[in-house]
Structure 1
Amino acid sequence: MGPVIYEIDTWPWLTGLGGVTLGEVPGTVWDQVAAPGIDAVWLMGVWERSPAGIAVARSNEELQRSFRDALPDLRPDDDVGSPYCVRRYRVDERLGGPQGLARAREELRRRGVKLFLDYVPNHVAPDHPAVTEHPDWFVRENGVIANGRDPYFPPWPDVLQLNAFAPGMRDATVAALSDIADQCDGIRCDMAMLLINEIFARTWGALAGPPPAQEFWPHVIGRLRERHPGVTLVAEAYWDTEWQLQQQGFDHCYDKRLYDRLVHEDAGSVRKHLSAGLDYQDRLIRFLENHDEPRAAATFPDGRARAAAVVVATLPGATLWHDGQFEGRRVHLPVFLGRFPDEQPDQALRDFYRRVVAAAADVRRGQWRMLETFGWPDNQSHQDLLAWAWDSAVVVVNFAGHPSQGRVPLPGAEVPGRAWRLVDRLDGRVFERSGSDLAGEGLFVDLPPWGTHVLVRE
């Protein structure tokens, strides 16, 4: 089963702890981070920030407006630079440098938690050493190195575009990833689909030169695995490229389609998405927010958010949670900023998420399968129920803003007479049911709007 990953926006997180470095984080804080059910921590944004990138950001009025929207009391030193405008893949000294990261990794390891870090394959900062030392690694446009971009949006003004077709750049990527893998257990690759040959050629045309015979990621990942066979690779992926990137060597890819359906669509749409084969689903990573998406508390109505959290927590594949999500933070902080705004934590929501994460660790065991739901002629609300089972658990979610009822056939209930004792791991309720009744009609479920059951058989 895929890991449960907790993303931390490293710089503002450390600021919120009083400005400590990674090597100075108190053990009690690591205890809280490494909560039951968390398998890995992704320290987002540890690499050296770019002074040149900061200068570009300070001259961009649109960015400055977004900074002031997030931090009305914005100070000049709050802009610490984008973590995706990387000057060097060395831990920023202001965050504790390589020694601080090594200490953080050891603290996590002692708690049985792995460490994930970032890599940005598509572009670098204007003051990255490769700009002057290896200009052949870059795309040139009108005689100068082009700004990084994807095929659908204007260029990013603070970064320079690497050429995925350049042999030297591919070799450098292997070396950089190998160095990162020496320092962690997993690597999240930013906008990984941009390096697929077809997408890169469509983005840059003749400026990139002819596409190589081999795809970028199989070349890079194959060589990386020779040195680091156990490192976990996660692709940020969009545009329905998830399966392709899985086949090219990634262990897990973002499931943005599920996110969009949970935000905007209904139970039928979610059910359709989950009908894909397990060979695909086991290698997706589910989420309700991350540093690129709006805060879940500001996006989902409260009941829908809780139902969606149970969905993503109990599906096959990997799960991604975001620092501040459990506490109900609502302000989406631009990644350039090194300080969070003051927000009052929602203790009840925090308790709910902790229960969900811990419960999911218990129920996600064995084989996963979707379950059918059934209604009766004058009540078809069962169509809004999502249901699936693990070996000793059943999850039912009413993904609708109205009460829903239905019957859910349970695996193993075909043996009449055996008594069933089902305990809801989220609220402790106990349901005693006759095996004969379950074998005949299935489990009757009556859930309030956005209600859930995470039932474990005892």
Structure 2
Amino acid sequence: MPFPPVAHPAPRIYNLFPLLSGPVSRWTGHLSHIAAMGFDWVYVNPFHYPGFSGSLYAVKAYDRLHPLLDEGSGRSVDDQLRSFLEAARAHGLKVMLDLVINHTAKDSPWVTEHPTWYVRDRHGEVESPFAIDPANADNKTVWGDLAELDYTPRPERAALVNRYRAILCHFVDLGFAGFRCDAAYKVPADVWADLIGAARDRAPEALFAAETLGCRLKEIEGLRPAGFDYLFNSSKWWDFKADWLLEQYNSFRSLAPSIAFPESHDTPRLRAELPGTWPMARVEAAYKRAWLFAALFSSGAMMPQGYEFGFVRKPDVVRTRPEHWEDPAFDISDYVGAVNDLKRRVRVLNWEGPQRQLTPAPSVSALIREAEYDPDLAVTLINLDLEAGRSVPGGAVLGQLREDQGGALREVTPRRAHGVLTPDATVLLAPGEIRVFVKDSRTAP
């Protein structure tokens, strides 16, 4: 790769799933592998003591470990976590905690100790959070093991916010460098601004990423005053044709840059979504393609544990156990590392500048991603045809660029010969192939 590392790269995140990895003391055994793939963050789902359902996201006590995650040595929770955090730093990794503050377990002691902290129905019973399918308003999912917290402005809210401020600051002081904020849209922006400000008083570089999947666009917009560093986007579900993804991207990039992912703990594994008749070589190619696209589309990228091995079992926040670790169907760790190296070296791939789509040839999509204030840009060519190769005239792409962006573009596609794209060149795309060409003002092609 001809470019030096970016000074302030966007996060390249590996999601270590606690119930699959086992007790905290075993998490360190995964760090060398994570670092070798070129990730710089480890995101860990909630590891706190759960309520009656056993779900990682039904937190009953934030100061205790999930019984399945305690190493059983008698060491304190803080000591166990501190050992992991120190080991992660030794591998050049920062750790991101999943921060769940929009609800607790329904059997949390807070329900009786602080009854005014919760949303209650007309009978005085604690309400459970729910979600309505945007495509079908009659499809309503209710999480009966959870109790929804009440953040409506009123005097009682101050004590609730103070409690979470203390919990958050404790984890900051312990050494957690970032926080994925679960269902961030369920908590008012002014509350987030308060908490984020308190964390940054202690650790100015603390990173906050808002999980907003499945909410309405106006709910994302409502988070603008909160001060989030990143949002998680919905690029996983894009068909490479519809306008909605780029409309959202360009609407919210001024709120915060975004993080893409090919799958997550909330989604089925990618293999479950691919045709069961595909040979494993073709499945492996689909995995490589999905990770490359996630890395190219937005500033940050996140990959869940097991993706690199083609795991097929979806992580379950209640039932997953270490014995569910699967034999690899393949191993694309080296390829993931090559993509991550590309990501950490190409400046424009770490910035959420303007992005637009072209169709330079039949069944070919071209994404042109620009820097906001520099002539840097990236052109991603995607063959939408999974059965046949396609060709793209260089002039059909370069002719759409601004004058200051003109000239040859350097190819940086991982595991390909790195030539240049000129107006008289023809780019050949294998079935389903993605190729990327960049202009980086630090180095001429």
TM range (shorter): 0.7 to 0.9
Alpha carbons 1:359, 1:426 under 8 Å: kept: yes
Cα 1:274–1:443 change in 2 (3 A) is farther
Please tell me the residue identity of whatever aligns with 1:6.
Y
Scaled by the length of structure 1, what TM-score is found? 0.74
Q: How does 1:13-412 map to 2 (within 5 A)?
A: 13-14=21-22, 21-25=23-27, 29-50=30-51, 53-54=52-53, 81-92=54-65, 94-96=69-71, 97-150=77-130, 152=132, 153-165=140-152, 166-183=157-174, 184-196=176-188, 215-237=190-212, 238-240=215-217, 241-256=219-234, 258-261=235-238, 265-267=239-241, 269=243, 272-273=246-247, 276=250, 279-280=253-254, 283-300=257-274, 302=283, 304-339=286-321, 341=324, 343-365=326-348, 370=355, 375=360, 380-381=361-362, 383-388=364-369, 391=376, 394-401=379-386, 402-406=388-392, 407=394, 408-409=397-398
Larger Rg: 1
Q: d(CA) in 2 for partners of 1:421 and 1:142?
A: 63
Taking a change above 3 Å as real, the CA distance of residues 47 and 271 of structure 1, as seen in their structure-2 partners, is: closer
Deviation at 1:82, TM superposition (A): 0.6
Decide whether the 8 Å contact of 1:246 with 1:253 is kept in 2.
Answer: no
Structure 2 CA distance, aligned partners of 1:95 and 1:382? 52
Preserved contact between residue 21 and residue 27 of structure 2 (Cα < 8 Å): no
Gaps of 5+ in 1: 15-20, 55-80, 197-213
CA-CA distance at 1:33 after TM superposition = 1.6
In the TM superposition, residue 48 of structure 1 has moved relative to its aligned partner by 1.6
Of 112-121 and 96-105, more deviation after overlay is shown by: 96-105
Q: CA–CA distance in 1 between the matches of 2:103 and 2:143?
A: 10
Residue pair 2:12, 2:300 contacting (<8 A) in 1 also: yes
Q: Distance in 2 between matches of 1:282 and 1:106?
A: 29
Q: Quick one: structure 1 residues 182 and 246, their matched pair in 2 at CA, closer, same or farther if it must change by over 3 Å?
A: farther
Q: Aligned with 1:33: secondary structure?
A: helix
Partner residue in 1 for 2:136: none
* Deviation, structure 1 residue 323: 0.5
Q: Tell me if the contact between 1:385 and 1:404 (Cα under 8 Å) persists in the aligned partners.
A: no
- Number of residue pairs matched by the alignment: 390
Of 14, 25, 36, 1:6 maps to 14
**Cα distance 1:250–1:443, how it changes in 2: closer, same or farther (>3 A)?**
farther
Q: Which one has the bigger helix percentage?
A: 1
Q: TM-score, normalised by structure 2?
A: 0.76
Residue 326 of structure 1, CA deviation: 1.3
Between the aligned partners of 2:111 and 2:20, the Cα distance in structure 1 is 29
Which residue type is aligned with residue 308 of structure 1?
Answer: A
Task: Return the letter of the residue paired with 1:234.
Answer: A
Secondary structure of the corresponding residue to residue 100 of structure 1: helix
1:130–1:26 Cα change, 3 Å: closer
Question: Match of 1:75?
Answer: none
170-179 or 181-190, larger mean C-alpha shift:
170-179
Q: Would the aligned equivalents of 2:209 and 2:230 in 1 still touch at CA under 8 Å?
A: yes
User: Among the aligned pairs, what percent are the same residue?
Assistant: 23
2: CA distance, partners of 1:274 / 1:129: 40
- Confirm or deny: 8 A CA contact 1:421 1:430 kept in the other structure: no
* Corresponding residue of 1:447: 429
Residue 44 of structure 1: how far off its partner (Å): 1.1
Paired residues of 1:329 and 1:343 also in contact (CA < 8 A):
yes
- Alpha-carbon shift at residue 392 of structure 1 (Å): 8.2
- Which digits, 9 at most, give the CA deviation of each residue in 1:264-311, with x for residues without a partner? x23454774476168438521111211111112222464554433222
Query: How far apart are 1:129 and its partner, in Å?
Result: 2.9
1:312 and 1:194 map into 2 onto residues whose CA distance is 26
Is the 1:253–1:284 Cα contact (8 Å) retained in structure 2? yes
Match of 2:36, SS state, is: coil
For the aligned residues, what is the CA RMSD?
Answer: 3.3
**Matched residues in 2 for 1:400 and 1:316: separation?**
23
**What are the superposed Cα offsets for residues 427-453 of structure 1, whole Å, 9 maximum, x if unpaired?**
2324367xxxx2xx2653221221122
